[in-house]
């Protein structure tokens, strides 16, 4: 999971109106091009298959194994919309950065962060993917976000490694209570010791802790940004597995809670997200 796509070409192959600029604005690190045909070496995603598929695990495996110079071709009629949805699902592999996080120190931090997760465990692998995806959502919402907030995005759910090493228990232990658990808090502090160990300044590391633990004044922009990024990541990446794990009743409550967290600019991004049909129905229900 430490692998990133260093160069990712995205080919848009369509018969209808194609807007490469929209995809480029959402994912500025990708090379987007309109092409008359797919390359034989590309991973090809047809829009009708993408929109009709319920199980994306085989595509997930192909994308993750593709290597650092993979190219994806989106083919069909709604190639622009499909391209945004596809790249939203796999943005965790892009490693998009800004000026604040473009450094060797942040490289070290990413390696240390990934080392916390035993990816042979499906739960731990999913947590690592969610952390990276939350970080990428944060950069999409606020391209100039500072370093402390980006560190907070990576480490915001690290307490689950202590609280839920083998099973999900959030339906029995609300986050507000679990963070008061002394053992969990110590585990989080141990994880955050990696931040300074990677070379991040004490000031930045301290601010990241404050963002994660909501110790800043109510309505602080970095806290709201993390809430938005976390909520979008749940809906776009984790909601289908959550429904499979917890069932419809708990997922409906979770979706309602998540939707209530979203600010206006984050809600606008839902148009770029493909939800599994059962989750999409729940979202429509709670939104109504």
Q: Is the pLDDT higher at 4 or at 14?
A: 14
Residue 217's pLDDT band (cuts 50, 70, 90): confident
Share of the chain above pLDDT 90, in %: 61
Share of the chain above pLDDT 70, in %: 88
* Token reading at 102: 């473009």
Q: What is the pLDDT of residue 2?
A: 43
Model confidence at 138: pLDDT above 80? yes
- H helix or E strand, kind and range, residue 44: strand 43-46
Model confidence at 176: pLDDT above 50? no
Residue 145: which of 216, 96, 105, 92 has the closest Cα?
Answer: 96
Q: What is the pLDDT of residue 16?
A: 73
* Average pLDDT value for residue range 196-209: 92
Q: What's the Cα-to-Cα distance from 57 to each of 3, 34, 63, 69, 89, rounded to whole Å?
A: 18, 27, 10, 21, 12
Residue 62's pLDDT band (cuts 50, 70, 90): confident
CB 163 within 8 A of CB 169: yes
Q: What's the Cα-to-Cα distance from 85 to each of 22, 81, 96, 174, rounded to whole Å?
A: 12, 6, 17, 31
- With H, G, I as helix, E, B as strand and everything else as coil, classify residue 231: helix
Domain boundaries, the chain: 9-93, 101-287
- With H, G, I as helix, E, B as strand and everything else as coil, classify residue 75: strand
Model confidence at 285: pLDDT above 80? yes
């Amino acid at each position: 999971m430490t692998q990133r796509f260093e160069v990712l070409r995205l080919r848009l192959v369509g018969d209808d109106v194609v807007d490469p600029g929209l995809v480029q604005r959402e994912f500025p690190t990708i090379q987007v091009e309109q092409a008359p045909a797919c390359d034989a070496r590309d991973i090809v995603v047809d829009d009708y298959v993408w929109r009709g598929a319920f199980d994306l695990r085989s595509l997930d495996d192909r994308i993750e194994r593709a290597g650092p110079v993979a190219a994806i071709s989106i083919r069909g009629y709604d190639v622009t919309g499909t391209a945004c949805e596809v790249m939203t699902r796999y943005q965790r592999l892009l490693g998009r950065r800004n000026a604040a996080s473009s450094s060797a120190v942040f490289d070290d931090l990413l390696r240390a962060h990934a080392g916390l997760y035993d990816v042979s465990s499906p739960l731990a692998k999913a947590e690592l993917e969610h952390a990276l995806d939350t970080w990428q959502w944060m950069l999409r919402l606020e391209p100039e976000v500072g370093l402390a907030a980006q560190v907070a995005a990576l480490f915001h759910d690290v307490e689950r490694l202590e609280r839920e090493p083998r099973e999900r228990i959030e339906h029995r232990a609300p986050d507000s209570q679990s963070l008061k658990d002394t053992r969990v808090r110590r585990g989080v502090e141990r994880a955050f010791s990696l931040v300074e160990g990677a070379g991040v300044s004490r000031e930045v590391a301290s601010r990241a802790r404050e963002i994660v633990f909501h110790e800043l004044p109510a309505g602080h922009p970095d806290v709201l940004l993390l809430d938005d990024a976390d909520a979008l990541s749940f809906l776009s990446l984790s909601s289908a597995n959550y429904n499979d794990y917890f069932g419809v009743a708990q997922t409906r409550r979770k979706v309602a809670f998540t939707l209530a967290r979203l600010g206006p600019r984050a809600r606008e991004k839902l148009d770029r997200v493909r939800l599994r049909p059962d989750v999409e129905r729940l979202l429509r229900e709670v939104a109504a």
